[in-house]
């Protein structure tokens, strides 16, 4: 588990002016990673956010300012994906963080050299930060699981296994896109209310899911489980994630084998990966609700109990096509925190590998929809609209039960507390396009 060091000092200031604002997403204490280019003619390469700029790791690698592990990590991060950097492990990641922190610190002798490597974020084009070989989505919010389960099984909303293991399913990595992703409304089978047989057509109950993504760093050999004590050493960092869901397709197809076409048409992630080291000041105790079972021994550890959870604030907002035309700001739908999760990120990694499954660098784990204990903290329209029964007013003349064509959904994530620098994830956007008519 990451430890606090000089890179977390809330009094530390960078020489870069844009880091000085109270609401700065990317202060010197953050330093998240992404893959970017300035225009379509350039090669993709890794970068690190600082203020409103990006440190171009390819340009930095050419300068040869750093030695040892930091230099190794910067060269690895300069590639067109972060997979090589991810597999080098925490010692290298932390060496890069410390080197950049020292170089960006007010009064650093490297200021002129590092300034020559800066690129404005405003003109950057982002790509997926890694080649994602596999994607697994979990179901870690007991509040979401209970709310959705109650719609289907009022007398027994939670199935017995939920209390004992992190429920998950294997998703489709090919349809994962970076913020700005626009996708067509999915088509598929759905069973209309009262009908005797299904129909095929566009989903009528399209939804978002407010989640975090967990990027795997170094993997594990097949057949060798990752114990709780080592789990976080295999996690490179976290991003925002929207696991778009077609609820009507899902209701028809999910039994007996779980989600399929209802969830594999699009998943959107934020471009920036915030490292666990940057999140260290926001670790909190892992607390289960009163009366809950203790995890089985392989999913339990003293350190996980003491600080396995992370207090990451999460917001979901919506902006319709009409709102964009009128230049109205997005409407906030809900706000919650990841500290409410029933399972921690370490438990996800350990359970995923307990059967000998091998994880690889760049694999992505979704946390599942993050909903809190109150209605205002629901992480999906399915919950906010009570299954479509209670429309939500989003502007003076528009309401929603589920998403409509042209809607843009925006997620934001950040950490803040007294005595620590604010750490942001940036924002993440995705837009719904009309369904494509079938051929013929």
The residues that are catalytic are 144
CA dihedral 321, 322, 325, 331 (to 10 degrees): -80
Contact, 404 vs 369, CB < 8 A?
A: no
| Interatomic CA distance for residues 278 and 258, integer angstroms | 35
Measured between its terminal Cα atoms, the distance across the chain in Å is 56
φ and ψ of 48, to 5 deg: -125, 130
By the 10 Å C-beta count (0-12 exposed, 13-18 middle, 19+ buried), 390 is classed as exposed
| Interatomic CA distance for residues 178 and 182, integer angstroms | 10
Contact, 313 vs 407, CB < 8 A?
A: no
| Interatomic CA distance for residues 295 and 231, integer angstroms | 16
By the 10 Å C-beta count (0-12 exposed, 13-18 middle, 19+ buried), 294 is classed as exposed
Q: Residue 268: which residues within 8 A CB-CB, separation 6 or more?
A: 176, 177, 178, 179, 181, 241, 242, 244, 428, 429, 430
| Interatomic CA distance for residues 297 and 350, integer angstroms | 11
Coil/strand/helix, residue 331: strand
CA dihedral 372, 374, 377, 383 (to 10 degrees): 100
Determine the angle formed by the axes of helices 68-77 and 90-104, rounding to 10 degrees: 90
Q: Residue 316: which residues within 8 A CB-CB, separation 6 or more?
A: 208, 210, 332, 333, 334, 335, 379, 409, 410, 411
Tokens standing for residue 109:
């002798």
| Residue of 57, 5, 62 whose CA lies nearest to 33 | 57
Q: Residue 249: which residues within 8 A CB-CB, separation 6 or more?
A: 186, 188, 189, 190, 203, 261, 262
Widest CA span in the chain: 74
């Amino acid at each position: 588990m990451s430890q606090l060091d000089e890179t977390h000092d809330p009094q530390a200031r960078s020489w870069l002016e844009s880091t000085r604002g109270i609401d700065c997403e990317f202060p010197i204490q953050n330093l998240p990673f992404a893959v970017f280019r300035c225009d379509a003619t350039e090669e993709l390469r890794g970068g690190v956010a600082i203020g409103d700029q990006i440190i171009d790791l390819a340009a930095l690698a050419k300068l040869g300012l750093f030695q040892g592990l930091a230099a190794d990590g910067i060269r690895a991060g300069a590639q067109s994906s972060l997979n090589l950097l991810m597999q080098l492990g925490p010692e290298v990641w932390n060496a890069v963080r410390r080197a950049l922190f020292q170089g960006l610190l007010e009064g650093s002798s490297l200021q002129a050299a590092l300034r020559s490597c800066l690129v404005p974020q405003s003109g950057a084009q982002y790509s997926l930060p890694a080649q994602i070989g596999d994607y697994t989505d979990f179901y870690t919010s007991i509040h979401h699981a209970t709310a959705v389960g109650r719609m289907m099984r009022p007398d027994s909303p939670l199935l017995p296994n939920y209390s004992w293991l992190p429920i998950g399913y294997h998703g489709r990595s090919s349809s994962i896109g970076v913020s700005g992703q626009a996708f067509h409304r999915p088509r598929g089978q759905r069973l209309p209310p009262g009908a005797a047989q299904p129909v095929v057509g566009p989903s009528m109950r399209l939804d978002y899911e407010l989640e975090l993504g967990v990027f795997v760093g170094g993997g594990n050999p097949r057949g060798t489980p990752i114990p709780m004590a080592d789990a976080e050493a295999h996690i490179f960092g976290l991003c925002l994630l929207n696991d778009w869901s077609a609820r009507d397709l899902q209701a028809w197809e999910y039994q007996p084998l779980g989600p399929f076409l209802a969830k594999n048409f699009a998943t959107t992630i934020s471009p920036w990966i915030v490292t666990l080291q940057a999140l260290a000041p926001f670790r909190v105790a892992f607390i289960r609700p009163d009366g809950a079972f203790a995890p089985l021994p392989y999913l339990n550890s003293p350190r996980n109990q003491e600080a396995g959870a992370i207090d990451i604030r999460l917001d979901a907002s919506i902006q319709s096509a009409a709102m964009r035309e009128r230049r109205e700001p997005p409407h906030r739908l809900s706000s919650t925190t990841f500290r409410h999760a029933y399972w921690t990120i370490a438990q996800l990694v350990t359970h995923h590998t307990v059967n000998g499954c091998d994880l690889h660098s760049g694999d992505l784990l979704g946390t599942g929809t993050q909903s809190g204990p109150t209605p205002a903290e629901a992480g999906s329209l399915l919950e906010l609209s009570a299954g479509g029964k209670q429309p939500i007013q989003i502007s003076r003349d528009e309401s929603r039960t589920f998403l409509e064509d042209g809607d843009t959904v925006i997620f934001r994530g950040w950490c803040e507390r007294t005595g620590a620098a604010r750490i942001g994830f940036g924002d993440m956007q995705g837009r719904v396009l009309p369904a494509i008519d079938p051929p013929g």
